[in-house]
Amino acid sequence: MASRLLFIVARDKATLFEYLTQEVSSQERAEIILDRRRGERREGVRTHEPERRRAERRCQPGVDGALRSHGFVVIRTQEVGPL
């Protein structure tokens, strides 16, 4: 299976997003997107119901830290063929 590169750029890095769009988007297997998350979806932990999740499901480990420190992160994904 072929792999793809997904560039996620922090919302406050519009200049970096434009630069990557111009430089990398010509690559057939690359996609550049702005981080669309706006914060935690959960409002808070309920006291009467324990948290069942074992880990955060929304992103891969290190993505939040890389976005904060570098302004972008690159994730290699696998393309899925027809079922």
Whole-number percent of the chain with pLDDT over 90: 29
Q: Which of 22-26, 50-54, 59-63, 76-80 has the highest mean pLDDT?
A: 22-26
pLDDT, average across residues 53-82? 74
Domain boundaries, the chain: 1-37+58-83
Residue 54 pLDDT class (50, 70, 90 cuts)? low
pTM of the model: 0.65
Q: Which of residues 78 and 11 earns the better pLDDT score?
A: 11
Give a three-class secondary structure readout of 23-79.
Answer: HHCCCCCEEEEECCCCCCCCCCCCCCCCCCCCCCCCCCCCHHHHHHHHCEEEEEEEC
